[in-house]
Amino acid sequence: MAKTLFKNAKLVSSDFKSSDHKMAFIVEDGRFSWIGAQNKIPKKQKFQKEFDLMNKLVLPSFIECHTHSVFAGSRAEEFELRNTGVSYLEIAARGGGILSTMKKTRDESAAKLVKKTQMHVDQFLKQGVSTLEIKSGYALDLKNEIKSLEVIKKLKGPRFVSTFLGAHALPPEFKTHAEYLDYLVETVLPVVKKKKLAERVDIFIEQKFFEKGPAEQFLKKAKQMGFQITIHANQLSLSGGVDLALQLNAQSADHSIYLTDDLIQKFSKSKTVAVLLPAADLYMKCAYPPARKLLDAGATVALATDFNPGSCPTQDLSLVGLLARLEMKMTLPEVFTAYTSSAAKALGIFQDEGDFSLGKRANFICTDADLSDFFYSAGATPDHFLFICGKAVRRN
């Protein structure tokens, strides 16, 4: 098995509070097989490759755990409407919002979607993202939801986690949400499963979108079919989405802006991760989630962009971290944790990546910058090299 030695690393501690000089590690078959002090490198070992990291800082690469990166068109004109006072729900009621992206996505060829989405992927990769979650949810019919998920399979660069978000909004072909959810369970999910196009199922629980009751039946059926679940929860109101996520042991409850003290306590006792999306909150001009209360209670908090053409047309991780620090009182180590190990937990892949543990994928960033240079300047990621499974992927 090919072994690569990385030496002279300034390895960041697991709590992102300090770093140890003169560390080394060995990567075998894409995974960490040994980590230790520079002067303890196992002797009598043959290395196929050696990298001298020249005392650069080495930290886990980023895991972006919530995006809607497959879509056609833009909603730039809608931004101006919202900014002049027309609400998100009003725009949706006029046939704009998610349904306007749906029309464009249905009409777009798979090849064009692959090209456009790959550009988004490259933008994440440039910022040190080694694992990227992407949801479907802008097609809302069998043919085009499958098309969207198949697009994800054709992308290159990071590791991808695909999520089926057919339950994003009610498409015009259906009169009621219940009928549409039945169609998803009976007609779409079996194909997603058979073709192995997604491991997870998501739903947008909110008034005028999907209500808690029908969502519960839908998610229970998805679970029975072997999907993991995640929920767009409590973004615009106390919609019951977080309660349901906790009740069903969902991997994550995303947005989680409207929370009672009781829900915060329940979060802290559960494995469900609160995925917070402050760049979307900035664009939506809504309150920021109570990150401090969640963290102080002991809940697991992850951060992500929520990149999509409507509520969050930015892919900027630095802005997300900056807002978490400025507006949500998160410390810098908490932001790093939220974008690495906690994001891995949100995607159910923490046994495989998210920190420097033996046996995990050797995904890391090395840089001449300090930790304090990250999540500091909006729009800027410090220069770095990204390694995925021990292989240099790109320099930024």
Where does this chain bind ligand NIG (CB under 6 A)? 97-98, 101, 204, 232, 235, 280, 306, 308-311
In sequence order, what are the beta bridge partners of 366? 58, 385
For residue 221, count other CB atoms closer than 10 A to its CB. 17
Q: How far is CA 375 from the centre of its chain?
A: 17
For residue 50, count other CB atoms closer than 10 A to its CB. 11
Q: At its nearest, how many Å lie between ligand NIG and the CB of residue 306? A: 5
Alpha-carbon distance of 340 to 342, in angstroms, equals 6
Angle at 43 between CA 38 and CA 46, to 5 degrees: 105
Q: At its nearest, how many Å lie between ligand NIG and the CB of residue 98? A: 5
Give 4 or 252: the residue with its C-beta nearer to Fe ion: 252
Q: At its nearest, how many Å lie between ligand NIG and the CB of residue 117? A: 15
Give 62 or 138: the residue with its C-beta nearer to Fe ion: 138
Alpha-carbon distance of 65 to 254, in angstroms, equals 10
Alpha-carbon distance of 164 to 51, in angstroms, equals 40
Q: Which residues bind Fe ion (CB under 5 A)?
A: 306
Q: At its nearest, how many Å lie between ligand NIG and the CB of residue 162? A: 16
**204 is in the binding site of which of Fe ion, ligand NIG, none (Cβ under 5 to 8 A by kind)?**
ligand NIG
**310 is in the binding site of which of Fe ion, ligand NIG, none (Cβ under 5 to 8 A by kind)?**
ligand NIG
Q: At its nearest, how many Å lie between ligand NIG and the CB of residue 223? A: 21
Give 113 or 280: the residue with its C-beta nearer to ligand NIG: 280
Give 235 or 300: the residue with its C-beta nearer to ligand NIG: 235
Q: At its nearest, how many Å lie between ligand NIG and the CB of residue 116? A: 15
Residue closest to ligand NIG (Cβ): 310
Give 25 or 283: the residue with its C-beta nearer to ligand NIG: 283
**321 is in the binding site of which of ligand NIG, Fe ion, none (Cβ under 5 to 8 A by kind)?**
none
Residue closest to Fe ion (Cβ): 306
Instruction: Annotate 235-266 with DSSP letters as a single string.
Output: SSS--SHHHHHHHTT-SEEEE--S--HHHHHH
Give 230 or 342: the residue with its C-beta nearer to ligand NIG: 230
